[in-house]
Amino acid sequence: MIKAAIVHAFERPPQYGEIAAPVAQTQEVLVRVKAAALSQLVRAQASGKHYSSGKVTPMVPGADGVGLLEDGTRVYFAFPRGPVGAMAETVAVKADQCVALPDSVDDVTAAAIANPGMSSWAALQERAHFKAGESVLINGAAGVSGRLAIQVARHLGASRIIATARNPSVEAELRDLGADQFICLGQSSESLTAAFREAIQNGGVDVVLDYLWGPPAECFINAAVGYGSGEAAPRIRFVNIGALAGATLAMTTGPLRSSGLELMGSGLGSISNADLVKVVGQLLHAIGPAGLKVEACAVPLDQVEEAWSRTSAERIVFTLA
């Protein structure tokens, strides 16, 4: 038996307890876990609401983490085999879903930055096929993932970064991270659409990293229309990553026919698990050269039930001795 955070019912937080230890199967390795982050993905999976959620309890949440292989190698790992996820003393993981950690990156930082940093790095490189010199609009830049997206886009060579957020008080912080322009989401849909249209027409937007969907995404899509000019509208790769503003939007076919929009998503299933892990490896090695920063709070795993519903700007990382 091993100690773990255990989901007994999807409507309740995990509880600290014991569960049967996993046994490595063909092409798998065992990892002794040192740190595992509490991300939006993990919360959704543990509630049974994410499309990748398991449907049977008890189960251990956790999509990724940091730990030690049996030979002592320190690694980042992802997608441990269920029902024992990353928030356990030991996990079984496919060997190709582990990457060695740079010595310069500590366990908590690596666990905290991997998922939110990967979201933008994978969306830019694997889905949008971003090229240095292109411009990027980050829709929903105030959260942990959005702030890292600014830093990642700058490191990968974005020529212009436009950040959006509902609270105008975060503008200075986002500019300090590397944003060149700020659009406040807390305005009428007409005004927001006009602001997006101005950004597209004055300087251009090559790639959108959308963490919001819902009404803000709808405003951008409507702003991208190019009819009436007689010229082909500019190509815009719109990559949805999250749905913090709503899972649906009202959309007609007109914007697709009259714009250069290319709608796609980035997440589990659109990119192979092995490729996502490779992306995280690139991200972790860029922490030093790019000066990537994430606010993290280390919490012992035996405090999981209390910490699960805690609201904090810092990324909670559960640690094990």
CATH 3.30.930.10 correct for 2-101+291-319 = no
Cα–Cα distance measured from residue 248 to residue 141, given in angstroms and rounded to the nearest whole number:
20
pLDDT for 228 equals 61
* Residue ranges per structural domain of the chain: 2-101+291-319, 118-265
pLDDT confidence bin for 229, thresholds 50/70/90: low
146: Cα separation from own chain's centroid? 8
Full-model pTM? 0.89
- DSSP annotation of 127: I
Cα–Cα distance measured from residue 181 to residue 202, given in angstroms and rounded to the nearest whole number:
12
220-255 burial code (b ≥16 CB/10 A, e <16): bbbbbbbeeeeeebeebbbbbbbbbbeeebeeeeeb
pLDDT confidence bin for 289, thresholds 50/70/90: very high
- Pick the range with the lowest mean pLDDT from 47-56, 73-82, 129-138, 165-174: 47-56
Q: What is the CATH number of domain 118-265?
A: 3.90.180.10
Helix, strand, coil percentages in the chain from 3-state DSSP, rounded to 5:
35, 25, 40
The full 3-state SS of 57-92, as one line of letters, equals CCEECCCEEEEECCCCCEEEEECCCCCECCCECEEE
Cα–Cα distance measured from residue 232 to residue 32, given in angstroms and rounded to the nearest whole number:
55
Condensed to tens digits (0 to 9), the pLDDT of residues 176-222 reads: 999 999 999 999 999 999 999 999 999 999 999 999 999 999 999 99
In the block, tokens 């815009």 appear at 236
The whole-number average pLDDT for the span 154-181 is 98
- DSSP annotation of 211: S
pLDDT for 226 equals 75
Cα–Cα distance measured from residue 31 to residue 165, given in angstroms and rounded to the nearest whole number:
38
pLDDT for 233 equals 87
- Non-local (6+) Cβ contacts of 245 within 8 A are 140, 212, 213, 214, 215, 216, 217
Question: C-alpha distances in angstroms, 88 versus 32, 33, 80, 116, 248?
Answer: 8, 7, 10, 21, 35
CATH topology agreement for domains 2-101+291-319 and 118-265: yes
